[in-house]
Amino acid sequence: MAELVAKRYAQALFEVAYEENKHKEIEEELLALINIFETNPSFFELLKTPLITVEEKKQVLTEVIGGRVSTELFNFLNILLDKGREGFIFHISRHFKLLSDKVENITEAIAITAIPMNQDDLTRLEQKLSVVSKKKVKLVNEVDSSVIGGILIKIGDKVIDGSIRNRLWNIKQQLTEMII
């Protein structure tokens, strides 16, 4: 249910933002807001607690971020407070970013390697994936020693497994089939 609610609210905010050509600005403001909530969890808990009235929450919100974010985002946050949906802001932010990236033809990818990739290799791989996928790829490198060597790429719902672990598994499967 949380995902469905988050998608609907994110879609509503995105439509308003896109119509005003402010979707990138609001995306950045949402990310900054999420960062504030992550670094100050007590502030987020204050906004979620049922012990404080909606009007008091709105007053706190106005004092803390009033005038620092766009009118569209500020009004949206007040709607979340009115509807008791402030706890969904993290999910809403994630879905908003996905909508924004889709419009901008951007996709995120993960390159999993046994050791960290240097920036030059990461940039070259990002460019190659952009050409192949016909989208602007934002690549993040994650380190997982279990891949042993090579690279495992996750882009959208596709996986490109060029890891040593996968190659060894394939060899094992072939040997098992030969023996049987």
Model pLDDT for residues 3-25, shown as the tens digit of each residue:
899 999 999 999 999 999 999 99
**CATH code of the domain occupying 2-102:** 1.10.520.20
- Range in 28-37, 69-78, 141-150 with the lowest mean pLDDT: 141-150
Grouping H, G, I as helix, E, B as strand and the rest as coil, residue 113 is strand
Work out the angle between the directed axes of helices 23-39 and 71-83 (0-180°, nearest 10).
50
Three-state secondary structure call for residue 166? helix
Mean pLDDT over the full length of the chain: 92
Q: Could you read off the pLDDT of 155-168 as tens digits, one per residue?
A: 988 888 888 888 88
Flag whether pLDDT at 180 surpasses 70. no
Residue spans in the chain of domains classed CATH 1.10.520.20: 2-102
| CB-based contact 31:110 (threshold 8 Å) | no
CATH of domain 106-179: 3.40.30
Does pLDDT of 89 surpass 80?
yes
The pair phi, psi for residue 163, each rounded to 5°, is -85, 155
Lowest mean per-residue pLDDT among 46-50, 80-84, 124-128, 170-174: 170-174
Work out the average pLDDT over 50-66: 93
pLDDT greater than 90 at residue 86? yes
pLDDT at 131: 93
Please state which of the ranges 26-40, 95-109, 152-166 shows the lowest mean pLDDT.
152-166
Residue 171 has pLDDT above 90, yes or no: no
Which residue blocks in 66-118 are alpha helix, DSSP H? Answer: 71-83, 89-103
Residue range(s) in the chain whose domain bears CATH number 3.40.30:
106-179
Share of the chain above pLDDT 90, in %: 76
Question: Does residue 179 register a pLDDT over 80?
Answer: no
